[in-house]
Chain A
Amino acid sequence: MSIVFMRLNNKLSLIGILLFVSSLHATSYGQDLMDMLDKETEKQSKPDYVTATFKTTRLINGHSVENVAKGVLDFRISHRFGFLSDGAYELFGLDQASMRMGFDYGLTKRWMIGVGRSTYQKQFDGFTKYKLLSQVSGGMPITVSAAAGIMYKSLKFDTPDRENFLTSKMYYSAQLLIGRKFSESLSLQLMPTLIHYNLATGINDPNDVFSVGAGGRMKLNKRVSLNAEYYYQIPGHQISGTTNSLALGFDIETGGHVFQLNVTNSTGMTERSFISETTGNFFKGDIRFGFTISRVFTIVTPRH
């Protein structure tokens, strides 16, 4: 500073006075402490990650971009009843129930795993889901997750006299989940999906079933949302005789539980069984009532 002063010898008094005046100006104007505080908080603003795009890790049958938090165990029990179209004799499907129970766990903020067992075809399943991108308000517009699953149908082979391989009852799924929370009430999601069959279902059926899912949720109030989920199977890449899976439902949140009530034309609750093996025609009454109860337990308490 003093070097500058030396060099500008002639105009120094002027500069001195200017500095004096400007420092006066700085102290007498805009001195509201609250304004200063606003400036300070703006300076340190961090990326504002969008949270709670969906209420739980499943939209209805399939995955949402949500993960369970790190160190949290999510115990999920799901039921799907019989078709409404079965009529009064079957109490509109309530006489039959198909069940899946599952345990999901958050390994990190971005990475979760889960296992489950379904009564449908005595199926075991496991999956892993990783959040690749997170939506940031005023930044990254979407959240992207990748999910991969493996399913094992433990139901006995129906052709025991033939040479059978264990791997023939194994199925794999790979999904990209692309979601965006458009507003507090509206979130939408796209799900390109590949299901692989080690053993094709029929002689003309493919080993790889391609589909694109679309879904979303509309919050009706703070604790209830209306969800929809549809998987469109790419023609020529689907198993013959199957239909596209459609599900509509409500998420109802009560403290530590989330209840998901839904109607769907699908029976199974794993990717392979509801995306590529749905047979019901939703618009002809082949609708099942179903529900899922999710209860979370904090296993590892985070350090703050």
Chain B
Amino acid sequence: MHSLHLKKITLLMLAMIVITFTIPGKSGARELDEVLKAGKLRHLGIVYANFITKEKSGLDVELMQLFAEHLGVKYEFVETDWQNVVADLTGKIVRPQGEDIEISGESHPVRGDVIATGFTILPWREKIVTFSETTFPTGIWLLARADSALQPIAPTGEIQKDVDLVKQGLTGVSVLGLKDSCLDPNLYALNGTGATIETFPANRDLNEMIPAVMARITDTTLMDVPVALIALEKWPGEIKVIGPVSPDQGMACAFAKTSPQLSQAFATFFKELKNSGRYKQLVEKYYPSLFIYYPQFLMD
């Protein structure tokens, strides 16, 4: 009798295991209906400049809160980091290989429905996520200490020429970057410039890259324009901008490839937000000087 009972239990467990592994489950970010059903929008973000501040406010936080309100669901902030942000959205561990990606077989739990964190649109990222239209213009500048021998370039008026001028002066200069992010030196063909590429530890706060330059840990650092502008205000006379290392870029919200409806819903929402002028007010709130450099942004 006892053994029969035991057999039954064992069989039940095996069946459950089989079901678990054989019946294909729903992996990846949720679609719109699931978000609506769940009644909650999970916002993946990294504390980064004024996109997401330490206080968990910022441009992207307010943007996502408005989107959740638009959907009629609650808002939830899910903190992540640059290493795991894509995996947190897609459930897949992805590593960039130039402009291409490498997806590892390991699975990763999906923790969010949308990435909005000053997320630069990069070619490799576009292969794994669906970006919304540009929510923020950007670019990558090379920053150095004020007393650096490296001199800022004289702008030519053409961004690519300016990039070339910058690269020309990088011989023997250490350049700090952050792998797998928009500040990844590999993205900007710096390897052939004679510069010494240094990688900022992934587990460190990106905001510490510039202080690292000031601390003479490195000669220069790559930095996106919004953060560079803030840094220039924060440390006047201590750092200087050498010039651009990338053409103009854009930041946007990222959705999983498996969430087209959610992506579409955001597109609709964002269009309304832009047309009403509220988005511009939001941008000016957190980046008042943005439109000095990108006067055409939001002009369409």
Mutual binders A and B: no
Chain B residues at the A interface, C-beta cutoff of 8 Å: none
